[in-house]
Amino acid sequence: MPFRRFKTYLLAAAISAGSAFSIASPAQAQFGAQAGFADSFRPEFLDRDMPLFVEILKLEDWQRPIVEVLLQDYMMSFESGVDDVKNKMRALQGQIGNARPDTVMALILEPLEDWDTERTALGALFLNNVRAQLTGDQISRWPRFERTLRREKELPKGELMGESVDLYTLIRTMRFPYETEEGLDPLLVEYELSLDSALSMRAAKIASLQEQIKDAMSAMDFEGGLRATDQIMSARVLVRRVQDEHIEKISAALPSELGEQFRRAALLDGYPRAFRPTPIPRLIESIRSLTDLSETQVTQIDDIEADFSLRLENLEFKIVEAYRTHEPGESREKVQRMIDRRNGKTMDRVTSLADQLIAKKNDLVEETRRRILAILSPEQTGSIPGNGSKSSRVPVLDGVELDENGIAKQKTRTLAPGKNNRNRPMFKSPGGARKEGSGSGGARSLDPTGPGKGGKSSDRD
């Protein structure tokens, strides 16, 4: 494809995607993603945010229609602004066709920079108009509203494992006794303030570095882009540190059994790849239902199950620690490898420590399955519920055919779950259920001190 046509293709891709960094080189795209450029084309406020305004600000019935109209005006203005940016980018086709390669990104980013200023002003105007409708008591709730709003908007923007877990929603989901939740209030206030500070710092850091990253993208200054994204990554690590610290603090403040349940659920929500479910529990449950198991076989199954649980838990927490230690540096390493390949260097494939440990977890599953099936007779193996014909000697578990040794004929892939990965975990974590529900337009869990705790309310400034 001639370079002139290729540049036109890039601009068309940028317009259709609504994001300049989507058409950049992989290294440039990594910089754009770190800077949060995708937010430029996402409205900051949507219809589904109305319950937040109502619940936290305690809007009166007469105020709700006014805020709804203000919200609709904001959304229409935002949509109009996005259309205007796309039209400006389409108008650049003639210039880009004749531009030097090193100026293409600068031309595309120019209308985005103007739109970012306008977009920020639209959001500020909307909030100021809402505030103008409030009474004195409602204005006193504004600081808490801002913290809740920031948590709702900023938490989903995390990129690191453990960065986006919502401990408020998790506590509400687990439905602890009222007295237990009430005892957590001081810790939740501490968590709210610490998390808000970390999220504010992360947002400010991303905003302050956008110009530097845009300049790096335009000039193809990869080292400059890496320095900027390193600073953003440090802010992300701080958010995750707040999350990890308060998981431990809240777990320690709960009764022993509830504390372990909460800790496990929080880590599962924050580090889903470490805790992907295995087929072993269901296999053992199916085997226990067999009526012709001998006492010796039952004892062997008990021993295998206990050994598996201990080794699995050890591996899962090693995976969590691997993410905590190594994941922040992987983004830089990925870009550096892209740069090296671009410069003609031959690069060997690198497997992260977390992926190595996940592979060991899969090996443990296969080893345990083999051990379990080895103690059964061929007739018992064929009688396992869900295996189809009782005469079959090739067991099938959860739709996966096993070989004669009880090993899955197709190994489970260990790719990171993501938008483009169809092998993401199929279970729903507490946080995953929350994120799905947030788009339905219904009311969301905003704070454990709200109506969900027996109607108790607490205005925190």
pLDDT at 155: 92
Contact 225, 28 (CB under 8 A): yes
* The pLDDT of residue 97: 62
- 357: enclosing H helix or E strand: helix 353-374
Residue 402: strand pairing partners: 408
Contacts of 422 (CB under 8 A, 6+ apart): none
pLDDT, position 37: 59
Between CA 163 and CA 156 the distance in angstroms is 9
- For 213-272, the pLDDT digits (tens) are 777 766 677 777 788 888 999 999 999 999 999 999 999 999 999 999 999 999 999 999
**Region label for 350, one of left (φ > 0), alpha (ψ between -120 and 50) or beta (otherwise):** beta
Rounded CA separation 83/453 (Å): 44
Q: Distances from the Cα of 230 to the Cαs of 224, 334, 354, in angstroms? A: 10, 12, 21
| pLDDT on residue 336 | 75
Which residue numbers in the chain have pLDDT < 70?
Answer: 1-38, 94-105, 217-219, 347, 386-461
Determine contact, residues 273/319, Cβ cutoff 8 Å.
yes
pLDDT at 202 (0 to 100): 94
C-alpha 386/C-alpha 398 separation (Å) is 8
- Could you tell me if 229 and 332 are in contact, meaning their C-beta atoms sit under 8 angstroms apart? yes
- State the Cα–Cα distance between residues 326 and 332, nearest whole angstrom: 11
Taking the CA atoms of residue 310, residue 416, residue 435 and residue 188 in that order, the dihedral angle to the nearest 10 degrees is 50
The confidence score (pLDDT) of residue 36 equals: 53
User: 3-class DSSP state for residue 37?
Assistant: helix
Instruction: Supply the pLDDT for residue 92.
Output: 75
Q: Which amino acid is at 33?
A: A
Helix (H, G, I), strand (E, B) or coil at 408: strand
pTM value > 0.85: no
Contact of 371 with 283, CB cutoff 8 Å? no
pLDDT per position as a tens digit, 59-108: 999 999 999 999 999 999 999 998 888 888 777 776 666 666 556 667 77
